[in-house]
Amino acid sequence: MPFPEASAWNRDSADIARENTKRKDSPCSFFFSHGRSLVLAAEYFHDERLSEAARGGVALKHRHKIQLAIFGQLMAAFEYMLKDFIAKSIDASNIFDEKLKNQEWLSITTERVLSQRIAQSTIGSMLVHPTLGWHTPDTVNERYKAIFNVSPFDGEDLKKISVLWILRHSVAHNAGFVTAHDSARINQPALSEKVVHLDEVFVKDTFDYLCSIASRLADSCGKSMLKQWLKSMRVYGPNWERDQNIYQAIKALGTYVNSRNQALQAFEVAAYNADWAAANA
C-alpha cells in the first residue's frame, strides 16, 4: 500500500494555517485550538443536524466509532502538549542546561542524531519527543518538578488523568474494548469485557478538564521559567535588544489562549521592563 503523500491543501488547511503560530510558540494555546476542533468534530453529527430517519441504528453506530477515535486524538494532543512544553522550554534559553544534564530520562542516541540528515528538528524536540513515560502522571510531575520547580498535576488530577490514560489505552490498543484488568484499574467493574461508550458529552467534558490543566501549566511553569531566567540575567542588567527574542519566547510559552481565533499576545519592551523589575526587586 503506498504511503499517503503530503498535500499542500486539505480540509484542515485553514485550521492548520491559523494554528501554526500557536503550535510553534505556545503549546498550551495550541492544545486548546486543536482540542476545540476535535470537540466540534465530535459534536457535529447531533440529532438536530440529521434527518429523523438518520438518527438511530447505523448513524449511532458510526457516531460512536467517530467519537472513540476523537477521544484518542484528544489524549494524543494532551500528551504532545506535555512533551512540547518542555522541548520548547529547552530551546528558548540555556537556563535549564545544568538541570537537564542530571535528567536520566533525557539522552541522545546515535539513531536520533543520524535522523537529522533526513528531517532536522530542534535540540529540545530531539531530546524530549521520542521519550516514554508521559502516560504516568507521577512521572510527568517528577520531570516538571525537576525543571520548573512546579508540578502540573495535583492529588486529584493524578487519579483522573490515570483513568483517562487507561481509557485511551482501551481505545487505541483494544478497539475500545475494556479488559477485566483495566476495568479493575479504574474501579469500574461494569465496564469489564465491554466496549466503552464515549459520547460527545464525555469528549467535551474531558477537553474542558484537560484545558484547566493546560491553563495552570502555562501559568505556573511559565512564571517559574521567566523568574529563573530573569534572575540569571541580573548581573548583566536589563537590555531589551539583547533579551528580546528569549523574553518573547518564554512569555509565549507561559501564555494560554482559550480561543481558536484569537492570536497570541505580543510582548514588548514595557512588559519586559515590568517583569525585570518584579523578578529582581
| 239 and 211 Cβ atoms separated by less than 8 Å | no
Enclosing H/E stretch for 174? none
Angle at 171 between CA 165 and CA 172, to 5 degrees: 85
Least confident range from 6-15, 226-235, 262-271: namely 6-15
pLDDT of residue 50: 77
pLDDT of residue 192: 85
pLDDT of residue 93: 96
For residue 38, tell me if it sits in a domain.
Answer: yes
pLDDT of residue 132: 96
Q: Please write the tens of the pLDDT for every residue from 135-150.
A: 999 999 999 999 999 9
| pLDDT > 90 fraction of the chain, expressed in percent and rounded | 69
Q: What's the structural domain count of the chain? A: 1
Query: CA 61, CA 197: separation in Å to the nearest integer?
Result: 10
For residue 247, tell me if it sits in a domain.
Answer: no
For residue 266, tell me if it sits in a domain.
Answer: no
For residue 199, tell me if it sits in a domain.
Answer: yes
Q: In which domain, by residue range, is 204 found?
A: 23-218
For residue 115, tell me if it sits in a domain.
Answer: yes
Q: Please write the tens of the pLDDT for every residue from 179-220.
A: 999 889 888 888 889 888 899 999 999 999 999 999 999 999
> Which is higher by pLDDT, 245 or 10?
245
For residue 40, tell me if it sits in a domain.
Answer: yes
pLDDT of residue 204: 97
Q: Please write the tens of the pLDDT for every residue from 71-99.
A: 999 999 999 999 999 999 999 999 999 99
Residue 264 has which C-alpha cell? 497570541
Q: What is the dihedral of CA 98, 100, 102, 106, to 10 degrees?
A: -160
pTM of the model: 0.93
Is the torsion defined by CA of 41, 42, 47, 48 positive or negative?
negative
Residue 6: is its pLDDT beyond 70?
no
For residue 13, tell me if it sits in a domain.
Answer: no
Least confident range from 37-41, 55-59, 89-93, 188-192: namely 55-59
Q: Whose CA is closest to 222, among 164, 264, 183, 173?
A: 264
Displacement of CA 188 from its chain's centroid (Å): 27
For residue 57, tell me if it sits in a domain.
Answer: yes
Least confident range from 115-124, 235-244, 260-269: namely 115-124
CA distances from 82 to 134, 230, 276 (A): 8, 24, 27
pLDDT of residue 52: 79
pLDDT of residue 161: 97
pLDDT of residue 10: 66
